[in-house]
Amino acid sequence: MFLVAVGLFLALGPRAGLAETVTVACAASLQDPVREASGAFEEEHPEISVHVSTGASSLLARQIDRGAPIDLFVSADDRTIAWLSARGRIDSTSVAAIAGNRIVVVAPADRVPEIDAPADLAAPRIDRVALCAEIVPIGRYAAAFLETNGLRDRLEGRIVRTDNVRATLAAAAAGAVDLAFVYATDAATTRAVRIVWRVDPA
């Protein structure tokens, strides 16, 4: 099922509660709320420090699969969690959906194109569009949106792939691309971009 309002999943690792340091791996798009929550946790539990590692959900999952000492994993999709669970790398009984998000298309704030319909995202004036590789959750979601709206072939040769959603956002913020597919929460972190299209969750 294609999810636009993405479920975020927290998985409890076997070491949690046994160490004075808790290591959290979280999707790059979630680093701000996770760091904020970690700081609040440390204030309530000064005897425990929290180390946050960020990156693409798929990359973090591969690290966990190879034995990285992670206590908590916050992923941007359920497929990654299911993969780790099937491989016996997480406690499947600890998995819970904790938040949702939405995909938006942003443009550099100093050159916002007029977008009235999905087809406008592939107009000739759009030279470069940034989105994550399809191994990353939002990359899959964006690709599904492009495919559904007949835009994938039209944007052939104009797509710039990135490793994670924060890199995608940075490309738009720096003006290196005309458009970028990011989460709404990412778009809200900078004034260097403007939202030009909100992807319909349907």
- d(CA 192, CA 188) in angstroms, rounded, equals 10
Which H helix or E strand runs over 107? strand 103-108
Q: 143-157: per-residue pLDDT in tens?
A: 999 999 999 999 999
Determine the pLDDT at residue 30: 84
- d(CA 57, CA 39) in angstroms, rounded, equals 22
Determine the pLDDT at residue 11: 53
3-state SS class at 37: helix
CA atoms within 13 A on the CB side of 163: 6
Question: Which of 150, 183, 177 has its CA nearest to residue 165?
Answer: 183
pLDDT at 41 over 80: yes
3-state SS class at 132: strand
* pLDDT confidence bin for 13, thresholds 50/70/90: very low
pTM for this model (two decimals):
0.73
- d(CA 5, CA 141) in angstroms, rounded, equals 10
Q: Which two tokens stand for residue 50?
A: 């929290």
Contact between 175 and 110 (Cβ < 8 Å):
yes
Q: 71-95: per-residue pLDDT in tens?
A: 999 998 888 999 999 999 988 888 8
Which amino acid is it at 171? A
* pLDDT confidence bin for 96, thresholds 50/70/90: confident
- pLDDT > 90 in the chain, percent: 66
Contact between 195 and 169 (Cβ < 8 Å):
no
Determine the pLDDT at residue 202: 76
* pLDDT confidence bin for 201, thresholds 50/70/90: confident
pLDDT at 55 over 60: yes
